[in-house]
């Protein structure tokens, strides 16, 4: 997958010969359960008859026409969504007659009676059948359970093309042939109602292995390589002897109807199923999603992010990392949100990078200058525009400079508004809005791209400059004294200006030498100073720090004392007005004056 991917999107699938499962727990039937492979042309029924309790009968891709009866507690798993249909008229496709059975990963279709019939012994209440991640459609009945006292769990199944949203699979939904592909809602637990086929569903029913304290981390791992998603669950405290159901699947389209808007373009939809896990609020699901089979998704690779639909809104994963070498996206979700909602792998068709980052809580007095201003797009960029405090259709101003027009990468380091525009910006919070056009569309008309700042005449020291020496109680003589201070960061400092006021007054109203400018420095945090030859108990030092992005901070020392003493070199500074000290000092004068 290249850094930029254009066009529409499609999901290509590679059928693998085996499903990799790695569990740090014991199967409910023991650690010696085996996997029995069935290939097209083989008999599923024969494989089941030769299986033991807890075994997995793994059915590989193909179409299998037979009347399947399950008399032993096995996991019946399809790889690559094999299709099952009945061999005899009036027969069910699958009949489950015992406890501990799971059916997952199949297309089940074509019978006039039940796609799946649960019709067995009373011991079904011990470990009731589970039907998950199947596409059950065009049958007389999708799933029927004759044991009314023991409901069957049937989650994450597609119940056919009739009905919409929560009506999917309900009795009488839609119209047409095989409209009665229903479930008996009184004896089957099933929810939600899928609107897309599941692909490569993988499910297991497991008993957790615990330590002596009933505590364990990293206890569940499900690697579903066919669907392209690996999941590891860790954290929290679980309960002894509890059964955890876990599974994952890929969907061929958006699996649910809903009004929540995705924050980008979905290139894949998944489901991760965790039931009866008692990890508590600290339990975390870590996912690695493979996107190597995604073709032309129309998004930038490094913007890919997993989202889960939770409480009617899409929530992004934490700790997202895009591994372009292995073409996987890593992210984490709380286990508590994996409650039957879809997971979407979402990307953006563009990416805007602006540095410095917006810090609207830190007022500035100089116009902001962008050290980095870059737009990446899957389509060629035609023009770039800006607007201050609005994004109306008639208010856009073109940005004429910059490089990369006609390509997918535009840059304009050093961009800012003009001095005249800045002069008209009032104190308060303001927002730059940007938009750009491509060969097919415009991005930003609705305010999607913005950068906020606050202009202030009085600049509060959000992260104050601290004068650490001299401090209250210090008395300076004619012996040189080291002035020291701290500042938020030594990076990207434009200047540090030091000032001295004999009476602590920095209002610039004390005459030519009060306050007195001592020095203009770089990113220094100390300065050796010989104090003037007079006596006062109200002296103060001020430090003005200005950063390259226009951020300004002022720090004022405590009152300290000066002691008058004899010296052969009397302190006689040459009088200079603030505007004679140079443009950098003049800027510091303005900042210091605005502080007072």
Give the strand pairing for 68-70 and 94-96.
parallel
- The candidate with the shortest Cα–Cα distance to 485, out of 519, 526, 530, is 526
How far apart CA 249 and CA 229 sit, in angstroms, is 8
Given this model, what pLDDT does residue 412 score? 96
The number of residues making up the chain comes to 596
- The candidate with the shortest Cα–Cα distance to 260, out of 315, 336, 339, 190, is 315
How many angstroms separate the most distant Cα atoms in the chain?
120
Given this model, what pLDDT does residue 513 score? 61
CB 496 within 8 A of CB 465: no
Instruction: Read off the DSSP letter of residue 370.
Output: B
Q: What is the mean pLDDT of each run of 10 residues along the chain (596 residues)?
A: 36 31 35 86 95 93 96 92 94 91 92 86 66 87 78 81 59 43 61 74 57 54 85 65 67 78 90 71 87 87 93 91 95 85 91 94 91 95 95 93 93 93 90 94 93 75 76 89 88 88 75 77 91 88 86 87 64 47 52 51
Tokens 């401090």 — which residue?
Answer: 471
H or E stretch including 593? helix 583-595
Sheet holding 114-118, edge to edge: 68-70, 94-96, 114-118, 141-145
Instruction: Read off the DSSP letter of residue 326.
Output: T
Question: N- to C-terminal Cα distance for the chain?
Answer: 58
Positive or negative torsion for Cα 311, 303, 281, 239:
positive
- The candidate with the shortest Cα–Cα distance to 264, out of 198, 154, 344, is 344
How far apart CA 203 and CA 172 sit, in angstroms, is 30
Q: How far is CA 485 from the centre of its chain?
A: 39
CB 393 within 8 A of CB 485: no
Given this model, what pLDDT does residue 581 score? 45
- The candidate with the shortest Cα–Cα distance to 336, out of 279, 397, 418, 398, is 279
Tokens for 387, please give them: 């607007």
Q: Which residues of 185-222 are buried (b: 16+ CB within 10 A; e: fewer)?
A: eebbebebbbbbbbbbbbbbbbbbebeeeeebbebbbb
pTM of the model: 0.65
In angstroms, the Cα distances linking 275 to 153, 339, 362 are 11, 8, 47
How far apart CA 368 and CA 416 sit, in angstroms, is 6
**Strand ranges, E, within 335-378:** 343-347, 350-355, 372-377
Q: Is 108 helix (H, G, I), strand (E, B) or coil?
A: strand
Query: What are the tens digits of pLDDT across the range 227-272?
Result: 899 888 877 554 444 445 678 888 888 877 677 888 889 999 998 8
Q: Count of CB atoms within 10 A of residue 380's CB?
A: 17
Residue 258 burial by CB count (10 A; 0-12/13-18/19+): exposed, middle or buried? middle
CB 247 within 8 A of CB 338: no
How far apart CA 552 and CA 588 sit, in angstroms, is 9
Q: Count of CB atoms within 10 A of residue 291's CB?
A: 24
Instruction: State the alpha helices, DSSP H only, in 15-124.
Output: 44-49
Tokens for 411, please give them: 């840059």
Backbone angles phi and psi of 69, in degrees to 5: -120, 125
Q: What residues form DSSP beta bridges with 234?
A: 284
Given this model, what pLDDT does residue 18 score? 28
- The candidate with the shortest Cα–Cα distance to 93, out of 41, 134, 33, 50, is 134
Q: Count of CB atoms within 10 A of residue 369's CB?
A: 15
Tokens for 408, please give them: 């997918």
Q: What residues form DSSP beta bridges with 88?
A: none
- The candidate with the shortest Cα–Cα distance to 168, out of 191, 198, 151, 146, is 191
Tokens 């009373």 — which residue?
Answer: 122
Given this model, what pLDDT does residue 183 score? 60
Give the strand pairing for 381-388 and 428-438.
antiparallel
């Amino acid at each position: 997958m290249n850094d930029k991917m254009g066009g529409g999107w499609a999901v290509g699938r590679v059928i693998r010969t085996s499903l990799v499962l790695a569990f740090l727990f014991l199967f409910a039937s023991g650690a010696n359960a085996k996997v029995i492979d069935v290939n097209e042309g083989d008999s599923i029924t024969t494989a089941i008859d030769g299986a033991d309790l807890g075994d997995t009968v793994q059915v590989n891709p193909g179409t299998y026409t037979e009347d399947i009866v399950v008399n032993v507690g096995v996991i019946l798993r399809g790889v690559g969504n094999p299709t099952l249909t009945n061999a005899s008229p009036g027969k069910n496709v699958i009949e489950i007659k015992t406890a501990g059975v799971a059916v997952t990963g199949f297309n089940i279709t074509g019978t006039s009676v039940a796609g799946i019939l649960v019709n067995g012994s009373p011991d079904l209440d011990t470990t009731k059948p589970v039907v998950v991640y199947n596409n059950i459609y065009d049958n007389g009945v999708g799933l029927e359970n004759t044991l009314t006292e023991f409901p069957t769990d049937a989650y994450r199944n597609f119940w056919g093309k009739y009905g919409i949203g929560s009506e999917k699979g309900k009795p009488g939904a839609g119209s047409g042939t095989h409209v009665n592909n229903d479930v008996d809602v009184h004896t089957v637990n099933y929810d939600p109602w899928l609107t897309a086929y599941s692909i490569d569903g993988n499910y297991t029913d497991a008993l957790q292995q615990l330590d002596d304290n009933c505590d364990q981390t990293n206890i569940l791992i499900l690697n579903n390589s066919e669907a392209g998603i690996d999941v590891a669950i860790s954290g929290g405290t679980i309960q002894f002897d509890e059964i955890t159901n876990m599974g994952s699947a890929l969907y061929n389209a958006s699996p649910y109807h809903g009004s929540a808007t995705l924050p980008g373009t979905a290139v894949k939809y998944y489901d991760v199923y965790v039931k009866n896990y008692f990890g508590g609020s600290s339990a975390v699901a870590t996912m690695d999603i493979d996107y190597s089979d995604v073709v032309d998704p129309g998004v930038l690779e490094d913007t890919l992010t997993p989202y889960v639909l939770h409480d009617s809104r899409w929530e992004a994963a934490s700790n997202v990392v895009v591994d372009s070498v292995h073409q996987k996206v890593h992210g984490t979700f709380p286990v508590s949100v994996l409650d039957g909602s879809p997971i979407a792998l979402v990307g953006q068709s563009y990416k805007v990078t602006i540095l410095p980052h917006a810090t609207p809580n830190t007022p500035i007095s100089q116009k902001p200058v962008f050290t980095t201003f870059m737009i990446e797009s899957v389509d060629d960029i035609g023009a770039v525009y800006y607007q201050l405090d609005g994004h109306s259709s008639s208010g856009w101003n073109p940005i004429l400079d910059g490089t990369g027009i006609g390509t997918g990468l535009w840059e304009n380091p050093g961009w800012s508004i003009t001095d005249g525009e800045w002069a008209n910006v009032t104190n308060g919070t303001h927002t730059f809005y940007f938009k750009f056009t491509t060969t097919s569309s415009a991005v930003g008309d609705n305010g999607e791209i913005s950068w906020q700042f606050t202009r202030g005449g009085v600049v509060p020291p959000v992260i104050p400059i601290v004068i650490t020496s001299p401090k209250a109680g210090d008395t300076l003589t004619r012996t040189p004294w080291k002035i020291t201070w701290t500042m938020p960061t030594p990076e990207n400092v434009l200047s540090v200006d030091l000032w001295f006021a004999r009476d602590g007054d920095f209002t610039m109203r004390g005459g030519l030498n009060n306050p007195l400018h001592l020095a203009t420095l770089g990113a220094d945090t100390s300065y050796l100073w010989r104090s003037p030859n007079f006596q006062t108990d109200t002296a103060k030092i001020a430090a003005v720090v200005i950063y390259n992005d226009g951020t300004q901070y002022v720090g004022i020392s405590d009152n300290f004392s000066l002691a008058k003493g004899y010296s052969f070199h009397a302190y006689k500074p040459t009088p200079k007005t603030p505007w004679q000290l140079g443009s950098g000092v003049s800027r510091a004068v303005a900042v210091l004056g605005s502080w007072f």
